[in-house]
Amino acid sequence: MRLVRILALIALCLAFTPTSALAVTGYDSAYSGESAFVMIDAGQTQSFQVFFSNTGTTTWAKGTATEVDLAACLADKVTCNAQDSTDSTWNSGWLSATRYATATQASVAPGSLATFAYNIKAPADATGTHRFNGDLVVASSGARIHPEGYYQDATVNAVGSVTGPTPTPTPGSTPFPSARPTAPPATPTPTPPNFTISPWAYACGHTTFANPATAQDTGMATDGCPAGDIPGTATAAYNSTTGALALSKGGATSDDLAAGALVGGLTHVTTASFDVAGYCGAGAPRINVTTGAAPGQAGSVTHFYGCSANNTAGHVSITFANAASDGSGNGGVAPTETVYQISFVQDELGDTTLTSIKFNGMSQ
């Protein structure tokens, strides 16, 4: 997940592709975010969403000559409107073999945000991490409007180990106790928290769940990292005593690297708030909220709420139903909508600490 795309990849695309083939009068775009990479089981269907702003002068209108599509690209990130030979087995309802999707909105005016969503289905024999590369093109001509080097990864879950059999106890006599044992005092049932916070760290297709969680981006393509990545480390830790969530991304913002925390125990949200010390950017730390269906399933919608837009003197306050606060352009989250996942995400270079975290006006 990267709110600022890889400048080096853009330069690479420009270096190897004639400028005239990329310049489309009236069309331009800017990458604005994406849903999380997914862990997927063989045979399972999941979905991706990516968001682009229309920074040109032409409205993208679905079903017309100005429709804009998200096209498939090869691993070189230069050859688009082309299908990688391994992609065909993952195609689940795409527009075509070489086009993932068009915008979900009927029209996207200049300055507005477009959402592109598509499903993937892992083949029965799938293993490892599979990458889906793409770029926006004018639907009628296939011309790329602004090379971005977009991609998202799906990592196939390994088959779990089989639990060994439980040993059969050896029969034997049980002596009668000399005195009736005293029953231990009842253990008080702890009051469950209003929500849980579970840190994670992500690097190049692999997510680590722990507390603290650490993930290292080696910058080596052989380890699944993009060729332009710079080695770095992402860390996430939560102190349940102080209520402090510390998130750090020590690699370049453009690197395939992030830290965050899942928020569990909530099925509906109205508000969120926290105090922030350290980095507070337009897209990180942010809160991602998934509605409609579980993440990666058909119908799921990701909403995101950035730090700086909702920050007043170090206090971030979010009203989820406020469409203007929803950076994904998906209209906010109504109090009656079912929430399937909530996550804090730090995927821009910097260190940040969140305290006094509240959801629906309640502390943990």
For residue range 305-354, what is the model confidence (pLDDT) as tens digits? Answer: 999 999 999 999 999 999 999 999 999 999 999 999 999 999 999 999 99
CA–CA dist 336, 333 (Å, integer): 8
Query: In this model, does residue 357 exceed pLDDT 70?
Result: yes
pTM above 0.75, yes or no: no
pLDDT at 14: 38
User: What amino acid is encoded at 229 in this protein?
Assistant: D
228 and 6 Cβ atoms separated by less than 8 Å: yes
Reported confidence tier of residue 175, pLDDT bands at 50, 70, 90: very low
Reported confidence tier of residue 64, pLDDT bands at 50, 70, 90: very high
Phi and psi at residue 20, to the nearest 5° = -65, -30
The closest of 288, 228, 234, 286 to 254, measured between CA atoms, is 228
103 and 114 Cβ atoms separated by less than 8 Å: yes
190: its two tokens: 């702890």
pLDDT in tens, 234-279: 999 999 889 999 999 998 888 889 999 999 889 999 999 999 999 9
Phi and psi at residue 116, to the nearest 5° = -115, 120
Give residue for tokens 């293993």. Answer: 127
What is the separation, in whole angstroms, between the first and last Cα of the chain?
A: 27
Question: Residues with Cβ < 8 Å from 163, sequence gap 6 or more?
Answer: none
pLDDT in tens, 124-142: 999 999 999 999 999 999 9
- Environment class of residue 152 by beta-carbon count within 10 Å: exposed (0-12), middle (13-18) or buried (19+)? buried
CA–CA dist 222, 219 (Å, integer): 9
More confident residue, 296 or 234: 234
* Ranges assigned E (strand) in 88-195: 91-92, 99-102, 107-108, 113-121, 129-138, 150-156
CA–CA dist 79, 94 (Å, integer): 18
Query: In this model, does residue 160 exceed pLDDT 70?
Result: no
Reported confidence tier of residue 85, pLDDT bands at 50, 70, 90: confident
**Beta-bridge partner residues of 248:** 235, 351
User: What amino acid is encoded at 321 in this protein?
Assistant: A
pLDDT at 316: 97
Q: What is the largest CA-CA distance in the chain?
A: 95
